[in-house]
Structure 1
């Protein structure tokens, strides 16, 4: 996957004694120490990261964390004190004003929190504006603007004015205007923060749907962790101008880099972020095409279980096999295929835990977890789901899973005894 944007050791210091403050930054002094000694404020401190082409990369943090300063340095709305920003291997920080203007017009467009629409222009005219500034012909810019509005579901209101639209629709226009320029990178600074919660969620859905169609590289700024987890492929979490951790939502929740990240994420509902892949266990299987009931019973006895998943040679799911059915197959000399339960429920490995709960609560058996090609990669048991939904501490989740497992063992003890006696 190619790197679309590279940020290397980016630093921004506000104030007069920037050189002295920069030296102190390099010496490892804190933001507070530098402010006290120089009067200068460190907005961003030695930040580095890459953004992949087509990725939604979220930069998040509380007010004053430096996230908005950081995104504005990417297109040099704010001049960096030191460091580099590369878009397609071109250093934005060293560009001439003319080259920078061209980058802002064609490569990296920005969507702001306050929409930035012209009240005297129609929705179509607002959407055409960036193309108009670039000198695109009237016919061509109208065609591109209408296509962008159509993509955003706004073509029917193209002749209306901003004050005739709701806040959510105005923000859609702002997004459509940016997309009309067909930018390679879209910078979104708290783009949905001014919207009501329900409208904000709709805009998040719209952005994700739009991204599926247009596949832009998006750098999205937010202070809302739930929003970051919902739309971001990866997240950079900032504090006091520094990046605390970069990773997927799952990585940040399951492996916080430090106490700050752990505390920041402790109230998040993990069931809406963690997936089957995070909580699954190795699948104990039998090859239904090659193995017989004796092999199945022996494996059950060794593993002290009373059920196996049956797969073919390529690990495609064929069904489940209980100890009772394996004993029946051996007694009556039946092939395993004849005694399999074909109604095994399965989930894809990226299925959210909250969705798995609705499935597994009505299932007596574990769920099979399959990959993109529908091959078995693991199983999910009820205890793992309950642990993921109720605990923020891994150790507690493990204890609950063990307790749940002991309960399952009790209900299956009769089957185990029969297997051990007859296998």
Structure 2
């Protein structure tokens, strides 16, 4: 299937991946290490800092997960989708800039908690915008392209941040260098979000009702019932809950795990940079591969690779091991995220209520982000070693693989539904 070039809306939508991925790297590679350093001034051990960071991620995720269906339902009303995105984006960007001026360990934890609310909140809306900017037959390609843009775009401010932190030019001290890197990433996030704010608009919507609260709750309940009766969508969301939990945990806690293993911070950061570059190439190749190959087998292979990474992580002891783990993850990281997003988008039966459906998709994403860090933090605190926490994540990928293996492709599901409807008419 030959695909046309990206439209202005598709490209502007993809640019948000480019801009916001800088924040992802901050949360993965720089802020956790920075918190450990600041925590030393407050007699906070590295293992406790790991636990604190896991709790911050889990609680912020829980707050959004509880609100996601209602946010999605209200965002479906005409004109609300862009408003909700703007609010979350404003909260996130202001909290990031606030972190530049904070030196207290606990104040930084709070600021990052608020930033996580704003940052991840934008993705509840952003993911659903895929339905507005792209038709079904282009979704795999556009979603994969977006993730590829994210890996490339996120790497640029990340490299500049590394140069600031590692070289400490112009007589900067370590803390000031980190603060400047936070400001740099905030400017990047703001600047390259502007095309999205200008060009991406809500296409599918429902008219506002007089009774917004009761109407919203009814819509949420109705959508939940539809998902419950939609076997393929229900199975997909259940499998996604498990395997994306493991993926998110590997992403958000990787540097914490490496630090607990005694791996040099510079080695970890360089490995993560290489991960970004390899992942960018990998997901762009995937964008071409999905033109001729179904998404399901690619997702299954990706889940299996992550399961293997958990086993390998249990035995990780050296910087070389960390490099190997990081590069293997890079081969499938963007692919599993991009294809999961477009796989679900193509399952949505009512385009004008896509935010409601993506609200439940976000529940799976956000609740999944609670269980993984808690497993890792709990087993680490219980045993005193993060290696058992890493191994505990394996069960999430095993469960996700088994369930997803039973899920039909979106086009197979639509064909089956069409045949069933034809049979009913003939009957």
* TM-score, normalization by structure 1: 0.20
Larger radius of gyration: 1
* TM-score, normalization by structure 2: 0.20
Query: Of the two structures, which has the highest relative contact order with CA contacts closer than 8 Å and spacing of 6 or more?
Result: 2
Select the structure that is richer in strand: 1
